[in-house]
Structure 1
Amino acid sequence: MKDILTIGGVELQPGTKTEINIPVAKLYTDAEVSIPVQVIRAKKPGPVVFVSAAVHGDELNGIEIISRVIAENLKLQNGSLILVPMVNVYGVLNQSRYMPDRRDLNRSFPGSKKGSLAGRLAHTFLESVVAHCDYGIDLHTGAIHRSNLPQIRANLDDEQTKALAEAFGVPVLLNANIRDGSLREAAVNHGARVLLYEAGEALRFDELSIQAGVKGVIRVLKALGMVKKRISNAKTEPFIANRSDWTRAGASGFVKEYVALGAMVEKGEVLADINGPLGNNIDQVVSPRAGIIIGKQNIPLVQEGEAMYHIAYFGDSAEEVLEHIEIMQESIVPVEPNM
């Protein structure tokens, strides 16, 4: 860790906590748009870690996760923590996954100074924040009308990345390929190890996903030796899925579903009926293999070919995965109002 860390043109000394706004562009109204950042630095050198959210502007769980991590008032033993609750500020303003130019920011990295608006924002975030980091946790949700079970996606063939994924403490780990143009690809190319946390649904707060995310972030920092905060070890053993597939609708119609998020399904099990407007059955959605539902569509309308159920395959471990998912679901703590 450098003695002085420069983020968005601001020089940050060891042992400081600083809020920064990194300017990215202006609105039509001439109002400045900037990325809000909090940087916490220990007095001792150590890893530099970023935690980012809302790369897709409608994915709000991560904003709340980072807000609660900030509220924990963490005392770093060493290293630096860079918290970025809104990367795609434009998308948050418009409650949209995309940038105003309709580009997906998470397909626009590494970007450039003179490219599209999405490319410029990607370049600014990469150079201002990610390029300084050794590790990263990127927080996501499912798309609109789709929910994801809390899960970590990462390069689990790398032993250190795998150890951090296990430390996060959710039952499902996916050994996921890196997508071209993604933040994760750009960060890895800059030498950082990155976990991608997927949980919940766009434009919604999901308490299970938020609490699991807050605990997961702190557990990763603890595994890196950056904090000593007391936090219970995860009661859920992680299981690795090396394959997952989306099961798609064979017809268009109204959905009557029979399985919930996190359910274990058997090969040939009926997941949903697709009916016509008069109630006549048109098609059935059937599981192609035994596995766990880690993602699903929520809206009860479907078009032919549309992805409906994301199933991860764990082989003989499926029953154990289900048990640990249930333990995670039971661990949620009711949120008390501030008095």
Structure 2
Amino acid sequence: MSDSKFIILGREIKKGESAILEMDVAKLHTRNNLSIPVIIERAPIDGPVLLLIGGVHGDEINGVAIVRDIIRRKYNKPKMGTVICIPVFNVFGYLNQQREFPDGRDLNRVFPGTATGSLASQFAYKFTQEIAPLVDYVLDFHTGGAGRENYPNVRCDFNNETTLNLAKLFGAKFIIDSNHIAKSIRDLINRMGKTILLFEGGKSLQLDREVINCGVNGALNIMKHLNMQEGELKIDTDYFLLKKTKWLRAPYSGMFESLVTNGSNIKQKTVIGRIYDPYGEFDKNIIAPFDCCIYGLNTAPIVYKGDAIFHVNVETK
């Protein structure tokens, strides 16, 4: 970032200044305005601009808690550069404890949005125009959805050396090679020539302290690497590069019980789960088809044949 003025949402933030601004989302049918807080901390010394986002999907509470903890611990006050925090991005979904916007759309599938489109599209357009151009780096915090629990991991494009290097420094156990999904925030930021990491951990509508701590520590590691904070990076685990992944699917319908913990390294032919009926007529083991790491679990007690139950790697580095 240069010595030029830093203006966000119509307000100039001077060096060494803090601000909490409101980004208007929409006017409710009750004629009340709905807006989201945008928390900005600018250091006295110029440097990179880092954006931290939680709650793009309104039911992904761990991401909200991660950004909240970063603010509470004052990690968002940089020694150089600027940190922008948006703890609750999809305020509609957060209020309703739902993934989507009130118009039923997935906010993370409408970027860059349009000024005259759907409610979600208009909100995406405002972010694209007023915040995204200002940032250099983005950390986007997510959790598993639809009853699926993700072991803490970061996702990036392995062909992008800058992003892959940041992913290694984040400190999560698993780093997953992931394509950019069209019209997502990650796709938008990438197309703008900026750097973004997507963090996944835990499951929707649940707080997980291990996941939250991993996300907070990872963000702090990135800030230390960018010289926005002081101190040594804290990396507590070796990382696995998961180049190719797949879901193992239920071979039967029935009551499902996992026999392994999320994040486990499993050998081929290990019994990793059971599916059985409520009448005691059958009880089937689920066998690992190859050596793999499990980084995603279906936590539903009842599954149907073909349901995704274990998210595993097919190829590891």
Distance 1:204 1:142 in 2: 10
Distance 1:274 1:237 in 2: 33
2:257 corresponds in structure 1 to 256
Q: Do the aligned residues in 1 keep the contact of 2:225 with 2:233 (CA within 8 Å)?
A: no
What pairs with 1:15-30 in structure 2 (closer than 5 Å)? 15-30=16-31
The correspondence for 1:154, drawn from 142, 153, 156, is 156
1:56 corresponds in structure 2 to 57
1:325 corresponds in structure 2 to none
Q: Name the SS for the 2:85 alignment partner.
A: strand
Quote the RMSD (CA, aligned, Å). Answer: 1.6
Q: Which is further off, 131-140 or 116-125? A: 116-125
2:62 aligned with 1:86: no
Distance 2:283 2:130 in 1: 53
Per-residue deviation, residues 216-269 of structure 1 (Å, max 9, x unmatched): 1011011011111x4652121222110111111122211132111112222233
What pairs with 1:1-339 in structure 2 (closer than 5 Å)? 1-2=1-2, 3-74=4-75, 75-228=77-230, 230=231, 233-281=234-282, 283-313=284-314, 315=316
Q: Do the aligned residues in 1 keep the contact of 2:217 with 2:234 (CA within 8 Å)?
A: no
Distance 1:281 1:258 in 2: 17
Q: Name the SS for the 1:98 alignment partner.
A: coil
Q: Percent identity?
A: 35
Residue identity matched to 2:225: A
**By how many angstroms is 1:286 displaced?**
3.1
Q: Name the SS for the 2:144 alignment partner.
A: coil
Distance 1:85 1:279 in 2: 47
Question: Structure 2: which 5+ runs fail to align?
Answer: none
CA separation of 1:282/1:115 partners in 2, compared to 1, >3 Å: closer, same or farther? Answer: farther
Q: Do the aligned residues in 2 keep the contact of 1:87 with 1:125 (CA within 8 Å)?
A: no
Residue identity matched to 2:287: V
**By how many angstroms is 1:284 displaced?**
4.1
Q: Do the aligned residues in 2 keep the contact of 1:272 with 1:285 (CA within 8 Å)?
A: yes
**By how many angstroms is 1:287 displaced?**
2.5
Q: Do the aligned residues in 1 keep the contact of 2:108 with 2:183 (CA within 8 Å)?
A: yes
Residue identity matched to 2:38: V
Residue identity matched to 2:278: P
Question: Structure 1: which 5+ runs fail to align?
Answer: 318-339
Distance 2:73 2:257 in 1: 42
Per-residue deviation, residues 264-311 of structure 1 (Å, max 9, x unmatched): 222233322221220222654333321111001112111221111101
**By how many angstroms is 1:66 displaced?**
1.0
Q: Name the SS for the 1:242 alignment partner.
A: strand
**By how many angstroms is 1:26 displaced?**
1.7
Distance 2:22 2:266 in 1: 47
Residue identity matched to 2:255: F
Q: Do the aligned residues in 2 keep the contact of 1:273 with 1:281 (CA within 8 Å)?
A: no
Q: Do the aligned residues in 1 keep the contact of 2:271 with 2:288 (CA within 8 Å)?
A: yes
Residue identity matched to 1:249: A
Distance 2:238 2:266 in 1: 20
Distance 2:271 2:281 in 1: 17
TM-score for both structures, normalised by structure 2: 0.95
Distance 1:56 1:289 in 2: 33
Paired residues in the alignment total 315
TM-score for both structures, normalised by structure 1: 0.89
Residue identity matched to 2:121: G
Residue identity matched to 1:291: C
Q: Do the aligned residues in 1 keep the contact of 2:224 with 2:233 (CA within 8 Å)?
A: no
**By how many angstroms is 1:312 displaced?**
2.1
Per-residue deviation, residues 59-117 of structure 1 (Å, max 9, x unmatched): 01111111111122244222111111111110001100111111111111111111111
